[in-house]
Structure 1
Amino acid sequence: MKAARPTAPNPSDQPPARRRKPAQSRARATADAIRDAFFQLLAEKPYDRISIRQVIGLAGVGIGSFYEYFSCKDAMAAVCIHLRVKAIAAAMRASIDAHRSEPLTDRVDALIDAQLAAPLAEPEHWAALFVVERKVSGIEAFRNMYAEFVQLWMEALSGGGDWPVQAALESTAFAAHAMTYSLVSQTLMTASRPVDPAALRRMVGNAVHGYLSIHAPLAAPPVPPRREPS
């Protein structure tokens, strides 16, 4: 994903020199309120039309409180995206631990479900977040995030003991994550009508399982397409 140079903040929005991390519960609540307000506004209007004043007005905090935690609007957006991505990674980690003893195809389905649960539950919100991610994420941060997800896929594929020794693990994990992430993010960003979450989940599952059936056929034979329950 190509990273864009952040737009310079308005001079009136320049922050003080110091920031502090939200260490205490009240401070964390303030930072959470700011991020939640931003997330709510992002579902209602384009990122470029959201101002810091609008965010703090909805959050019910002062401008000084904003600058205690964020240097500018782009920094706030980057933190918001980072925390939500980390929550997805934590869900994937829990899925790996919970399904380690299951066959490869079941582990893969569980991991896809964990990775897509949040975007498919709130597709409009995540469509906006994916667009903003392209504006505010630096290339190094993006590479680090991508590597973390590929590592999770590697652990899921190899964790059950049925991964073929002759099958390339890292490249397969990279492809599985790339298909999952790209199909969801690009579908949500380019959709001109509401997305059908079940149909999108089936598309991702079919793509990943189809790839695995070629690269690890003994452990991941072709599976029937997922159908919605009648």
Structure 2
Amino acid sequence: MKDTPASALKTTKTQRRRPAQSRARATADAIREAFVQLLVEKGYEKVSIRQVIGLAGVGIGSFYEYFSSKEALAAVCIHLRIKAIAADMRASIDAHRAEPLPARVDALLDAQSAAALTEPEQWAALFLVERKVSGIEAFRHMYGEFVALWAEALSAGADWPAGADAEQAAFASHAMAYSLVSQALMAMPGHLDAAALRRLVGNAVHGYLSTLAPRAYRLYRFTTD
């Protein structure tokens, strides 16, 4: 799969124009960073555009040059972070194609969860906002593209069983990883043990996949003992 997810967001235009020059990019970046900081501190409903531009140090005209509304700003913030995760997953697939299935899976889980586990407060807030600004069709499109990345990673090596449904396994693997991370961040704000959560996600996904590809897991344990 060549394209990265467009977003889990509404399909309407959310960013007025793309900041092409370095100063313009810096302005748009400052607005997005200020929004995420305020989002963590106050929650989406209590964040105003005036607060965002005050923290970013830009004028109201600069805000509307790039974003049509607070909702549009939130959509762009989530879109860019999702796009970055998809790029990391693509890089992981390309870098680990020759490795055994369990190693490919671990590398992909790291690529998918690293950002959220590194910045849990920001991602907890963004996951909550996603439910306010996402359209169902866009969410389904995004979800499908992540599942396709998983399917490619699973079937990349000769150790994926010929009779196993890679698409179904990919859906289940992504669902477990996405749900465990997002729900843990939203349900346990401020009490997250990132290493423990990553182990939990790995145990869940590996446990499931080992039932579909037992030989790949047996051979991997043998070679790593």
Match of 1:15 in 2: none
Question: Is 1:154 the equivalent of 2:151?
Answer: yes
The number of equivalent residue pairs is 210
Post-superposition Cα deviations, 1:30-71, rounded to whole Å, max 9, x if no partner, equal: 111110111111121111110000101111111111111111
Distance change (3 Å), C-alpha of 1:202 and 1:74 = same
| C-alpha distance in structure 2 between counterparts of 1:30 and 1:39, whole Å | 15
Match of 1:197 in 2: 194
In structure 2, the CA distance between the partners of 1:154 and 1:199, relative to structure 1 (3 Å rule), is same
Q: Equivalent residue for 2:46?
A: 49
Detail structure 1 runs of 4+ shifted over 3 Å in the superposition.
220-224
Q: Name 2:173's counterpart in structure 1.
A: 176
| Mapped partners of 1:222, 1:136: distance in 2 | 45
**1:53 corresponds to which letter in structure 2?**
R
- Cross-structure match for 2:5: none
Contact 1:209 1:223 in 2 (8 A): no
Range with greater deviation from structure 2 (129-138 or 187-196): 187-196
1: distance between equivalents of 2:145 and 2:22?
Answer: 29
Residue 159 of structure 2 aligns with an amino acid whose one-letter code is: D
Residues of 1 paired with 2:190 and 2:68: CA distance? 35
Give the drift of 1:220: 3.2
| Corresponding residue number in structure 1 for 2:125 | 128
Aligned-partner SS, 1:130: helix
CA distance in 2, matches of 1:162, 1:4: 36
Which stretch shows the higher mean deviation, 38-47 or 113-122?
38-47
Residue of structure 1 equivalent to 2:108 = 111
SS class of match (1:219): helix
Query: Are 1:23 and 2:20 an aligned pair?
Result: yes
SS at match of 2:215: coil
Kindly tell me: are residues 65 and 115 of structure 1, through their superposed partners in 2, closer, same or farther at Cα, counting changes over 3 Å? same
Aligned residues of 2:19 and 2:66 also touching (Cα < 8 A): yes
Match of 1:96 among 88, 93, 97: 93
For residues 137-167 of structure 1, the C-alpha deviation after alignment (integer angstroms, 9 at most, x for no partner) is: 1112211111111111011101122111100
Q: Residue 156 of structure 1 aligns to which amino acid in structure 2?
A: A
Q: Distance in 2 between matches of 1:68 and 1:54?
A: 17
Gaps of 5+ in 2: 1-7
Cα distance, 1:84 vs. partner? 0.4
TM-score, length basis structure 2: 0.88
Gaps of 5+ in 1: 6-17, 225-230
TM-score by length of 1: 0.86
Greater helix content = 2
Equivalent pair of 2:9/2:138 in contact (CA under 8 Å): no
> CA 1:29 to 1:172, structure 2 compared with 1: closer, same or farther past 3 Å?
same
1:37 aligns with 2:49: no
Q: Is the 8 A contact 1:213 1:222 kept in 2?
A: no
SS in structure 2 opposite 1:202?
A: helix
